[in-house]
A and B are shown apart, each in its own frame.
Chain A
Amino acid sequence: MSKKILIVDDEVYIRVLLEQTLEDFEEAGVELLSAGNGLEAWDVIQAERPDLIILDVMMPGLSGHEICQRIKNDPDLSNTHVIMLTAKGQETDRLRSIETGANEYITKPFDPDYLIECTAAALDIKV
């Protein structure tokens, strides 16, 4: 079964950017999914069980922190790798992400190479 990455961000350009940045993984057989808000993301997570979620924090409906908390509190989902990708570069925000159990915390604007590196490590795939 192929591995799945879910990209969650309410800004379409950021979703496109992330999809294109992670294009090489798609070519390596990884399925790229995306969601434009928290509620939609939660539906996709339950239906598709992605291996890695790249999660924006500030979103209407359900915030990234809330989604991360739900994932980590759900025994069926708690192994999912979560990378928080946020424009809020504050110390409290980073601490909050660690509290909710996120595996990684990257601030916008992000270094594409670093994101690719983190993704490769999370999925154990070299591209």
Chain B
Amino acid sequence: MKQPSPDTGQPPPPSTRENGNRANAMALEQQAHNLMLINRISTTLTSSLDAHEILHLTVQHLVEFSGIDYGSMLILEQDGQHVRIVAEHPTRQLGDLRLALPHLPSVQRALELGIPYTVEDATNHPLLDPVQKESPLLKFRSLLLVPLAARREMIGILLLASLDQPRAFSDEEMDICQMVASQAAVAVANARLLQDIQQQRHALTRKSQELTETSSKLDAILNNIADGLVVTDPTGRIILSNPAFREMAGLPPARSLHGRLLAESFPVAGLQPLAAQALKVPGQVFTDNLALPDGRVLKTSATALRIPPPILETERREKIAGVVNILRDITHEVEVDRMKTDFISAVSHELRSPLTAIMGFADLIQRDFRRWIVPHATSDEKTSQIADRILDNLAIIETQSQHLTQLINDVLDIAKIEAGRVEWLMDDTDLAEVIQSAVIATTALAKEKDLPIRVYLPADGLPPVWGHLDRLVQVMTNLLSNAIKFTEQGQIQISGCRLQVSRDGTIQPETLRAEPQNKALNLEPETLSPGEWVMVSVADTGIGIPAEEIPRIFEKFTQVGDTLTEKPEGTGLGLSICKEIIEHHRGRIWVESEPGKGSTFSFALPAALSQAEAPGRAGFAEPRGLNQT
């Protein structure tokens, strides 16, 4: 180890010729020495050793060549508040020591200034580090601190120290140290960069593993779901299919269908047209039922495959990449549905047969009794009394059997409507005709109670509605017979009118009811969507419905009043059936009532479009202006 040269960095002694020559020779020797040092350090710094080793060797060379007592490399930590000793020479076992900057004012100062900073004599220095005072390990006499800067950022300090003797640092020494420091900083920065790259590589590898795992999970899901899945591109070529789909298509589950036309890959027609429809209306689901050659029934649904725009794209428009088709085996559901219908039919048959016998025989007994017994029973008062009682009791059997029949019919009716097993024979229907049929059907009932039925219709008639005549007559008859049933005196008033509901929800009766009514038209406007409607009301002067009962009045088995003491004849299903029928016609039914004064049941149906307005209309017409649900 070289002893520190007393001349190093010192101004040349007073000038004599010899002295001058000697000084020149020494300066030359010093320069050569410095160049060697720089060369060695440069070689060290550019060698492929790891960062720690490089820094350690750099410090070692510097200390050895400059002949100073101690050197170390302090690296600033991420928090900017601590430095760590990453290399030192000779070792004082301080390696990896972490020091807080506030305890090292001179280091902090050097970092702030960004230029070399010297402490010539620590014993009388105003910025003496408290750590130096406290820790004998860090006790220095003189210090040279050179900041390490990489890309204008301070990353650490190169520290050279004289332990016992005060020592000055020459400009040359400082220059060399600065050069070494800048090279070391580059080496540290490179090492950090390398570390970053390695970390990113690890992260990428991990991400890629995660993606592989996610992808294989998704594959497993696709391969294991019971539903068939096939995705096509906009031209109808398959870009993805799962084994369930291939099985449904009658193909080996392992075969790839990629690139094949969907229309040519499925044994039954119907998938491709559905997909084509879905492609035209993105966001909507199109469904259809298909029967496979082996008898299985599939419910297929198709939706456009919408790809959201990339986040950085300026034009934020989603892309339609094709169609997702799902095929579900509903053979079992169809079978259950069929069994349900069969059950309804069987129950109907099984209940009606004994009822037919009960009713028929009760009737026969009555006939025979009247014809053959009653004429002979008048002689004796007691016998005559009993004969009357027998007839009364038989009449009870008859009416109760009729009630039971009606109940069975209603239950079956509602079950059929709910199961969608009713045939709807839709046609242009005149509600005036419906009203007339219902009035005829209930005239006898009204006559019994001496209640007049008044019908008010606009002079120019009502616009037709698209409906099933018999079912609408059923609704009207039900409302009318209810009105009669719950009214003891007064009258039943039927009125029909045309309603125009505007976009803002206001209602204008185009043709006012022929007889002006006292109360204003009381509709909840939100229940009718904009468009043209035909409304029919049945108003009675009967017992009315308490306000709390109104919300439940269209529910099954709901009747007004105490069911034990004042139950009127009825099944409690009539209004539910009316509601189902009206709603099937896309209409609304509601009631207004005041207990003691009477009730008004009304329904509104969308006015039918004329043939000219709706060319090619098939099945059920879309009512004008109705919300499509």
Contacts and interface: CB of A to CB of B under 8 A. Distances in A.
Interface of A: 11, 13-14, 17, 20-21, 58, 87-92, 107-110, 112
A58 B348 CA distance: 12
Contacts, number: 54
A20 B362 CA distance: 12
B429 to A, nearest CB: 17
A110 B360 contact: yes
A13 B356 CA distance: 9
13 contacts: A11-B353, A14-B353, A17-B356, A87-B348, A89-B348, A91-B422, A91-B423, A108-B352, A109-B356, A109-B358, A109-B360, A109-B401, A110-B356
Given A88-B348, A89-B409, A21 B357 contact: no
A1 B345 CA distance: 41
Given A87-B348, A88-B348, A90-B345, A108 B423 contact: no
Contacts of A112: 360, 363-364, 367
Interface string B436-454: 0000000000000000000
Interface in B334-380: 345, 348-349, 352-353, 355-361, 363-364, 367
Contacts of A20: 364
B412 interface: yes
A21 B359 CA distance: 12
B360 A21 contact: yes
Interface residues of B, number: 22
A88 B357 contact: no
A88 B345 contact: yes
Contact of B349 (A13, A17, A88, A109): A88
Nearest to A57: B349
A20 to B, nearest CB: 5
A8 to B, nearest CB: 14
Given A58-B349, A92-B423, A109-B401, A87 B364 contact: no
A88 B352 CA distance: 8
A107 B422 CA distance: 18
A96 to B, nearest CB: 12
Given A87-B352, A87-B353, A88-B348, 20 more contacts: A11-B353, A11-B357, A13-B357, A17-B356, A17-B357, A87-B349, A87-B356, A88-B349, A89-B409, A90-B416, A91-B422, A91-B423, A107-B352, A109-B352, A109-B358, A109-B401, A109-B405, A112-B363, A112-B364, A112-B367
A67 B367 CA distance: 33
